Amino acid sequence: YGDSGYAYVRQRYICATVANGTWERDIARNNVDGVWTWTYGAWVVSGRATSWRDLTIASSFSAYSNAQANMPKYKVSGSMVNVRGILTPVEAITLGTTLVPLTSGAIESAFRPEIESTFVCQGSGINRWTLTIKTDGKLYASRYGTNASVEAPTNAWFTFNVTYAI
């Protein structure tokens, strides 16, 4: 499509082997002083979806009440990744600024964040904690407490439901 000096093409690539991925990019052809040039846009995700995929919990945590619904999971919808779960420490633990692994399994490489992403999440009572998703696709916990780090007991909630763009 286009007008007299420009021509645009939208290119689509569909890959059924990577979570039914669909990528698109625009290609523009521009005529400047009788010279045609091509400009290729970046590939962007235009549509894909996955079912919920389980993440393996690290040895220092377990699913809260061992319910399957509390297992850490992630799901992709278009260019957004949703990560959710409710975990609890296996032993009482004090989380300061050091990152403690929540998962030993990782988010699939195609769906990992480009940069390390940190989210503030709700803990038990008025406690908060930070969830960090690293570029290796693993989840980490730190800073459990209100104003200072406190000991998180074995029945503490580490609940999370976060979304990031890919």
> What pLDDT score was predicted for residue 163?
96
User: How many CA atoms does the CB half-sphere of 32 hold within 13 Å?
Assistant: 6
Tokens of 149: 């780090």
Q: Give the three-state DSSP class for 83.
A: strand
> What pLDDT score was predicted for residue 127?
95
Highest-scoring range by mean pLDDT, 29-33, 101-105, 145-149: 101-105
In this structure, the number of other CB atoms found within 10 A of the CB of residue 74 comes to: 25
Q: How far apart are CA 120 and CA 127, in angstroms?
A: 11
User: How many CA atoms does the CB half-sphere of 4 hold within 13 Å?
Assistant: 2
User: Does residue 55 contact residue 107 with C-beta atoms inside 8 Å?
Assistant: yes
Q: Is the predicted pLDDT of residue 6 greater than 90, yes or no?
A: no
In this structure, the number of other CB atoms found within 10 A of the CB of residue 148 comes to: 8
Q: Which of 89, 86, 100, 109 is nearest to 162 (CA)?
A: 86
User: pTM to 2 decimals?
Assistant: 0.72
What pLDDT, in 10s, does the model give residues 14-71?
665 555 567 677 877 777 777 777 788 877 666 667 889 999 999 999 999 877 888 9
User: Does residue 92 contact residue 153 with C-beta atoms inside 8 Å?
Assistant: yes
What pLDDT, in 10s, does the model give residues 109-142?
989 999 999 999 999 999 999 999 999 999 999 9
